[in-house]
Structure 1
Amino acid sequence: MWGPFLPAFVGHLREKGWLGITNIAMDERSPEVMAAATALLKEVAPELGIALADNHKIFKQYPYIKDMCASIFGPIEQTDIVQRRSQGLTTTFYVCCSSGFPNTYTSSGPAEATYLSWYAAAEDYDGFLRWAYNSWVEDPIRDSRFRKWAAGDTYLVYPEGRSSIRFERLVEGIQDWEKIRLLKTEFSGDDAKLQTLHDLLEPFRSPVAFDGWEQTLRDARATLNTL
């Protein structure tokens, strides 16, 4: 079924001008499934990009994947991120129902949503993926639980255009990440200022909560705004 579909899909994307911005994405697939899927794509649709949320630490086997998103449990080394970036490839990280801190459950500290972007900046990731934006449960306003998953795992916003504290704090973190990116460019060639920025980010390389992390985050955000 995929054999005839993929070439037709590529033709459709090319006609619309979307081929260069479209990836076939795979979510936490095993090495065996990835081997079969990538072999098929190479055979029938080699122009199509690939994205992967990787929780098997197999990213080195696929250096050509356009958008590689590593589980927070399996971080990608900065040297590999830099190498991928030089080739125009995107490297991000993600959290989901199996990770505790930092996260965006309804039970999470609101500042954890901001911490996610500081972690991304500290580890030099190009961005962050959270799997669910509005996969609502039966009564999302009153009860955010879903089966065995942590409450709030399936959505960040509420029906009828309602935001949430955790979503707004996530936006704050994204804004911080962008400030950091711009400052890295502005400070290029100034080793002292770059070192200041590096020192500011260093505590947030931890995917584990540490004593005083919320105050450290508040102080770092204040310093960032002075920079």
Structure 2
Amino acid sequence: MAAEPPKTTYRRVMLKISGEALMGETSYGLHPPTVEHIAREVAAVHEMGVEICMVIGGGNVFRGLQGAAQGMERTTADYMGMLATVMNALAMQSALESLGVFTRVISAIPMDQICEPYIRRRAVRHLEKKRVCIFAAGTGNPYFTTDTAATLRANEMACEAIFKGTQVDGVYDSDPKTNPQAVRYDRITYDQVLADHLKVMDASAIALARDNALPIIVFSLDEPGGFRGILAGEGAYTMVHG
């Protein structure tokens, strides 16, 4: 008789990762072994019966703000960044489905040949059928980051928390990579994140999470089994809450 999966307090969650998380040790684009590693982390949580939404940034391919800083018109640069997120979403879909996890890529910009348009009720139904929903192309509007898109979709999908996968195991009072004395917060408020300019998510995303009492859990995606462990009540992380 198969062992029961670990109990979790979360039924539906949003996983937000950066595009850079898919680069691995490379300096640009996709690193297939890294994409596969993240897919295995997601599949392990899926096996627990958790309904999973995902938003992946596009900074490994193109970042709108950087394009605008180099003289490109901001709206055009942002649309290019949105298209980069679609590429990343398709790569993650391929990796997840190779593990037997049914997945839907849902784009805020219609492109019917490769993914579904965003229709909230349809997306909710996919989640109820235990399909992983990867939301691509941000909000479909320029001047909004994928952090904001993740928070918006998490609220629309009635997610119980946003899991922000990073390279460190939580939020620190300074950069732990350069300051060995940096202190990790176990819990921190939305207002403190905004007041201290802590790099969790951009201010619009934090404010949207605060206004809807949506907790943000910051954890290390590099730690094997970390995503699943936190959902099972183990591991180190920081919770941003009211």
TM-score (norm 2): 0.29
Q: Which has the higher contact order (CA 8 A, sep 6+)?
A: 2
Q: Where is the helix percentage greater, Structure 1 or Structure 2?
A: 1
Whichever of the two has the greater Rg, that structure is 1
TM-score (norm 1): 0.30
